[in-house]
């Protein structure tokens, strides 16, 4: 079976103008393709630009540079009609189910709203049935329709958010940290629900997360972001078995291992220093100020996006034969 690219993000940049000549480079040149039906994980610590990337992909923000193609159509140069159509196909679910549900609306009104906005309701009765069906799809039931968001637990509210996102029968869902605000015990059940829905409805996910522990189970491929840039991209399996970038290695070392014997021997790579400001990112490799492996060249030269093995990309001088040959490749002391 050939894999179709459904979303292509090409050297995407989103800079915020903070006034007085100050620019914040939230997303600074990221590229990746998402295949139809897959889950692509976008991972990186808080502030690295994941949410901004998600919002720019959905067209909620204008791009500063680069391109986002959804089914070969440029998301940022659509007519109003094309955009309306696109917004039916791509939906977003958010981290905070508390904030994203209107407390004064019933669950019925919340889920029915997108259907009504897009004038897709044929009759009152049909709309009711559709909302009940959506509630059942996410493991809730029709008796929940007349209640209000505060009557539900965090996990149930996230299910309501998912039902609302499914209302327009999208093909693609951007899930922005959908489980981060939930209790650990509830996280797995929401992930399972997302997987079930993906299978049933052939959905494609862009799954945004700040740590690698849960994304491993849901993503086919993962892109690791640091300070607005992509530093590594490969299959989830490859990323865990053979992480190349020192930042990925540090992120992986932070994941606790359930086996107490192995956990005891786990070596954590503690990154020194603060995350630099995206207003004034470091020159050369953006990670060099915190990288335990940094060499002199890392502060001077921006690493190339290298394909080290099929589909395994990394932006790091440690893997660049040409740079390795340079004499000045010496470790710098932090």
For the chain, list the strands marked E by DSSP: 5-19, 22-35, 39-43, 65-70, 73-74, 90-93, 172-176, 204-209, 221-226, 229-235, 306-309, 312-314
The binder of ligand ATP chosen from 147, 210, 304, 308 (CB under 6 A): 210
Per the structure block, which two tokens stand in for 96?
């905070």
Number of residues that bind ligand ATP (CB under 6 A): 13
Question: Minimal distance in Å, beta carbon 298 to ligand ATP?
Answer: 22
Q: How far apart are CA 186 and CA 154, in angstroms?
A: 8
24 binds ligand ATP (CB under 6 A): yes
Question: Minimal distance in Å, beta carbon 79 to ligand ATP?
Answer: 26
Tokens 């809730």 map to which residue? 140
Per the structure block, which two tokens stand in for 123?
């009759």
Question: Minimal distance in Å, beta carbon 305 to ligand ATP?
Answer: 20
- Within 8 A by CB and 6+ apart from 231, the residues are 224, 225, 245, 247, 248, 287, 314, 315, 316
Q: Which is nearer to ligand ATP, 48 or 215 (CB)?
A: 48
Per the structure block, which two tokens stand in for 63?
């791009």
Q: Which is nearer to ligand ATP, 51 or 158 (CB)?
A: 51
- Show the binding pattern over residues 28-57: x = contacts ligand ATP (CB under 6 A), - = does not: ----------------x-xxxxxxx-----
The DSSP output letter for 295 is: B
Q: Which is nearer to ligand ATP, 62 or 241 (CB)?
A: 62
The binder of ligand ATP chosen from 8, 10, 16, 29 (CB under 6 A): 16
**Could you give the residue ranges of the DSSP H alpha helices within 277-326?**
321-324
- Show the binding pattern over residues 170-209: x = contacts ligand ATP (CB under 6 A), - = does not: ----------------------------------------
Question: Minimal distance in Å, beta carbon 162 to ligand ATP?
Answer: 20
The DSSP output letter for 274 is: P
The binder of ligand ATP chosen from 114, 246, 278, 303 (CB under 6 A): 278
Q: How far apart are CA 134 and CA 170, in angstroms?
A: 13
Q: Which is nearer to ligand ATP, 16 or 98 (CB)?
A: 16
Q: Which is nearer to ligand ATP, 156 or 219 (CB)?
A: 219
The binder of ligand ATP chosen from 7, 9, 12, 26 (CB under 6 A): 26
No. of H helices and E strands in the chain?
12, 12
Question: Minimal distance in Å, beta carbon 12 to ligand ATP?
Answer: 12
Q: Which is nearer to ligand ATP, 156 or 187 (CB)?
A: 187
Question: Minimal distance in Å, beta carbon 120 to ligand ATP?
Answer: 31
Q: Which is nearer to ligand ATP, 64 or 156 (CB)?
A: 64
Q: Is 251 exposed, middle or buried (0-12, 13-18, 19+ CB in 10 A)?
A: buried
| CA-based nearest residue to 41, from 53, 26, 56, 29 | 53
Question: Minimal distance in Å, beta carbon 266 to ligand ATP?
Answer: 25
Q: Do residues 229 and 197 lie in contact, with contact meaning Cβ atoms separated by under 8 Å?
A: no
Q: Is 226 exposed, middle or buried (0-12, 13-18, 19+ CB in 10 A)?
A: buried
Q: Which is nearer to ligand ATP, 163 or 251 (CB)?
A: 251
Site residues (vs ligand ATP, CB under 6 A): 16, 24, 26, 44, 46-52, 210, 278
């Amino acid at each position: 079976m050939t894999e179709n690219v459904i979303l292509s993000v090409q050297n995407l940049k989103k800079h915020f103008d903070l006034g007085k000549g100050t620019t914040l480079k939230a997303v600074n040149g990221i590229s990746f393709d998402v295949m139809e039906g897959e889950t692509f994980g976008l991972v990186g610590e808080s502030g690295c630009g994941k949410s901004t990337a998600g919002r720019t992909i959905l067209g909620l923000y204008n791009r500063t540079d680069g391109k986002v193609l959804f089914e070969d159509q440029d998301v940022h140069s659509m007519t109003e009609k094309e955009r309306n159509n696109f917004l039916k196909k791509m939906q977003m679910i958010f981290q905070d189910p508390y904030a994203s549900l209107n407390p004064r609306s019933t669950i019925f009104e919340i889920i029915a709203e997108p259907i009504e906005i897009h004038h897709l309701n044929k009759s009152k009765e049909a709309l009711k049935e559709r909302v009940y069906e959506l509630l059942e799809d996410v493991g809730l039931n029709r008796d929940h329709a007349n209640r209000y968001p505060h009557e539900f637990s965090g996990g149930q509210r996230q299910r309501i958010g998912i039902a609302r996102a499914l209302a327009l029968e999208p093909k693609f869902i951007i899930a922005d940290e959908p489980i981060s605000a939930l209790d650990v015990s509830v996280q797995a059940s929401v992930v399972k629900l997302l997987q079930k829905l993906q299978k049933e409805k052939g959905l494609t996910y862009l799954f945004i997360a700040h740590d690698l522990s849960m994304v491993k189970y849901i993503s086919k491929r993962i892109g690791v972001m640091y300070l607005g840039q992509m530093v590594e991209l490969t299959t989830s399996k490859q990323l865990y078995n053979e992480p190349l970038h020192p930042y990925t290695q540090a992120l992986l070392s932070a994941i606790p291992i359930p086996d107490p014997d192995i956990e005891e021997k786990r070596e954590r790579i503690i990154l020194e220093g603060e995350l630099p400001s995206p207003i004034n990112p470091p020159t050369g490799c953006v990670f060099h100020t915190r990288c335990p492996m940094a060499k002199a060249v890392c502060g001077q030269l921006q690493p190339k996006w290298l394909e080290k093995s099929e589909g395994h990309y990394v932006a790091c001088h440690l893997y660049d034969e040409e740079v390795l040959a340079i004499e000045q490749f010496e470790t710098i002391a932090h």
